[in-house]
Amino acid sequence: MSEQNESGEKKRTTTEKIWDSTKKTLHIATFQANKYKRVVQKKVDLATIHRKIGAAHSDLGKEIDELRENGIVAIMETEAVTKLLANLDDLKNRAADLEAEIEAIKQEEAPEEEETPEEEKPKPGEE
């Protein structure tokens, strides 16, 4: 299938060139599909955290209103409020981390396809 030129190197046939191009295209398409899948999963996780942040805001507001109605003056120093605020901070940090991960995934480049040395490549019909 391959001929040798004057320097002893093998010439690549049209079929080999098409096969190499197809492998490269498949490699890139697979990488992009996996990257997209990872971004979508992170966005789903991020949406879940944003819903939890909204619920935490609601819980915090409800707790503060109840404390105010009960005549508590130092609302911010109560244990329930500090726990809710700590939970809210944790959720916000997790959301920021996920957003950073999403950006990192978007910036990833497709790794170069590893070339196998000629002597390790199976010859046509030997597979």
Q: Which helix (H) or strand (E) holds 25?
A: helix 14-69
**Strand runs labelled E in the chain:** none
Alpha carbon separation from 50 to 36, 55, 78, 93, 102 (Å, rounded): 21, 9, 25, 11, 15
pTM, entire model: 0.68
Q: Is 42 exposed, middle or buried (0-12, 13-18, 19+ CB in 10 A)?
A: buried
pLDDT for 2: 47
Q: Which of 22, 18, 16, 20 is nearest to 3 (CA)?
A: 16
In three-state secondary structure terms, 121 is coil
Tell me the β-bridge partners of 10: 4
Q: Which of 36-40's residues contact partners 24+ apart within 8 Å by CB, and which partners?
A: 38/105, 39/102, 39/105, 39/106
**What average pLDDT does the segment 118-125 reach?**
49
Q: Could you read off the pLDDT of 70-119 as tens digits, one per residue?
A: 998 899 999 999 999 999 999 999 999 999 999 999 998 877 765 544 44
Between 14 and 41, the more confident residue is 41
pLDDT for 13: 87
Asked if 78 contacts 60 with a C-beta cutoff of 8 angstroms, the reply is no
